[in-house]
Structures are given as C-alpha cells and as structure tokens.
Amino acid sequence: MRSDPSAVADDDLLSMLLTRRFEEELLRMAATGDIRGTTHTCLGQEYIPVALERLLHPDDFVLSHHRGHGHYLARFGDVTGLLAELLGRQGAVCGGVGGSQHIHRPGYLSTGVQGESLPIAVGIALHFKRRALERCAVAYIGDGTWGEGAVYEALNMAALWSVPLVVVVENNGIAQTTPTSAHMAGSIAARAAAFGIAYQRIEGTDIDEIRADLRMDFNESRKSSKPFIVEFVTHRVGPHSKGDDARTAQQIREAELADWYPAYAFAHQAQTREIESIARKQLDDAIEEVRRRPLVSAPRLAAEHAGDGE
C-alpha cells in the first residue's frame, strides 16, 4: 500500500496541474478539430520534468520528444506560446510550423523522430565541454526509443568523449502499442553499464525525493563532464496520441492507480483545490486570449524567422 504523498510547493503543483489541464484541453480540441495533426499527452508523467526543472541551470539545454508539452511547460511556463503554436496563432513559439512535436527556442529543441535527439545532444554537450561552460545537455527519451540505433552510437561517443549529457528515460512500460517486455531485451541499467555510464532508477513520484536523489548526478555531469542516465519507471495515463489506446481496461486501470494525481489530491485537498483554480484560470485566460489572435500566415512566418539561427 502506498503511503500518503508528501506536500509539494505550490509552484511545483501549479506547474504539474497546468500541464495536466492544458493537455486535457488539447485532447478536447483535437476531438473537435480545433487542432489538426496529432498530439501526445504526458498525463501521469508531469512530475518528471517538474522535479527536474529545479535541478537544471538556466543555460542547460533540454532536448525533448513527441510527448514533450510537459517538458516545455516545466521549463518555460509558456502556456500561450505553446497554445499559439498548436493553434497556428500569432505569438506561436515556433511560428506555427513546429506544432506539437517540433519546438525550438534557445536552449530547447524537441523532435517527433525517435532517436534523433541523442546525437544532437552529444554534440551540444561536447560544445559545453570544449568551452568549459559547466552546463549539461538533457535529453528525454522513452523506453521504445532504445530500439533506435542512433541511441547507441550517441551513447558510445558520449562515454568515449566524456561529455556532460544526462539522458532521462521515461519508461512508461509501452511504446505506442507495444509493451516494453515485447520490444526490449535486457535492461536499461545493463545498457548503461555496457558503456560505463552512471545510472540511476527512480520508481517514486515524490518530486522532493527525486531531486534529492539526482542533484549530485546533475552537478557531477556538469562539473566533471560525464554522461549519466536516469530511468524513471512511470505510467502513461492517457492514450498514445489523440485517442488510440491498445491497452486492456485492466492495464489502463493499473496506470490510473499509479497516477500521482488522485493520491496527491486526496492527501492535500485544500492545496489542490486552491492550485486547481489558479491553474484553471490561467489556462482559461490563455485560451481566450490566444483564440482572439490572428492566424499566422506562411509568408509572415518566413519573415519572422528569417535569420533566426539560434
């Protein structure tokens, strides 16, 4: 039986709840056709980037993946910029061309192509090392992304060149429709050991404990220029993308039971009520404001981003 979750700071809870309510809105908008294309939510996994945000320095570089809204919102809190991106409205963080999966701003890059980010992250980390900047490149990947050869090439070079790379594995037990047990032989720990890369596994959702467990590893990666892999055992509460869920009702129920939110809301009712209403208001205001903005047109977009080589 799980013990009651310990209280988190209001701003951490706000960050987690904003992401959750934001993504629930996205699923609604996808259903009504307000947003086009696909979108992947991190419902149930929000605590990971929120926990890690306090361990990151402003100049560290974050590389995200297809399920990246939580990574972006934990880092920048920029609800309107991301929403405008998804709705193709002015003020979109990436001019409306990136959509849900391909976001770029200084110090942040996401890609929907599995395995694409790690070689780039190694290059960024190598640059940090060469300039003695004491920063790290942090790349999020899922368990399914260990099926990509580029991951192994990147880890090989990261270990060989000893670069400040932190790989954050969000192991939610499934890759689209394929359970981890059906796509991964061996373990992530053994893969890290094969490259001589330090590794930690985190099973809990308590963000203060996560920070305490990982603080030294992040500092060590920056200071001594070393790669490090942290594997989070986590659960995807929502569908893979807009509505596709190949799991059985029982498997979905198990994911819901492991979700950090219901237990937290039950243990900390007054705080949750208060922060929920702040998150709701911020989100409703953002939606109303962004919906009033004009659409981004393609020529304007090109002009806005001309010479934007950052």
Residues of this chain that interact with ligand TPP (CB under 6 A) are: 66-67, 112-115, 142-145, 170, 172, 174-176
Minimum separation from the CB atom of position 107 to ligand TPP (A)? 22
Residue 125 vs 175, nearer CB to ligand TPP: 175
Residue 145 vs 221, nearer CB to ligand TPP: 145
Minimum separation from the CB atom of position 172 to ligand TPP (A)? 5
Residue 109 vs 296, nearer CB to ligand TPP: 109
Distance CA 201, CA 306 (A): 43
Distance of CA 250 to the CA centre of its chain: 26
Given its phi and psi angles, is residue 84 left (phi above 0), alpha (psi -120 to 50 degrees) or beta? alpha
Outline where the chain has alpha helix (H). 10-32, 47-53, 69-76, 79-87, 117-130, 149-161, 180-183, 188-194, 207-224, 249-258, 260-267, 269-292, 298-305
DSSP state of 146: G
Residue 81 vs 144, nearer CB to ligand TPP: 144
Residue 237 vs 290, nearer CB to ligand TPP: 237
CB 117 within 8 A of CB 65: yes
Distance CA 277, CA 219 (A): 36
Minimum separation from the CB atom of position 116 to ligand TPP (A)? 7
Query: Which two structure tokens, joined as six digits, stand for 140?
Result: 């999020």
Minimum separation from the CB atom of position 104 to ligand TPP (A)? 17
Minimum separation from the CB atom of position 68 to ligand TPP (A)? 10
Query: Which two structure tokens, joined as six digits, stand for 25?
Result: 């809105």
Instruction: Find tokens 């940090």 and name the residue.
Output: 128
Residue nearest to ligand TPP (CB): 142
Minimum separation from the CB atom of position 102 to ligand TPP (A)? 11
Minimum separation from the CB atom of position 271 to ligand TPP (A)? 29
Residue 179 vs 204, nearer CB to ligand TPP: 179
Residue 132 vs 185, nearer CB to ligand TPP: 185
CB 79 within 8 A of CB 283: yes
Instruction: Find tokens 């989070």 and name the residue.
Output: 232
Distance CA 32, CA 26 (A): 10
Distance CA 68, CA 40 (A): 8
Angle between helices 10-32 and 79-87 (to 10 degrees): 10
* Of 234, 285, 176, residue with least CA distance to 43: 234
Residue 167 vs 275, nearer CB to ligand TPP: 167
The partner residues of 199 in beta bridges, in order of sequence, read 229
Minimum separation from the CB atom of position 142 to ligand TPP (A)? 2
Residue 102 vs 293, nearer CB to ligand TPP: 102
Minimum separation from the CB atom of position 221 to ligand TPP (A)? 22
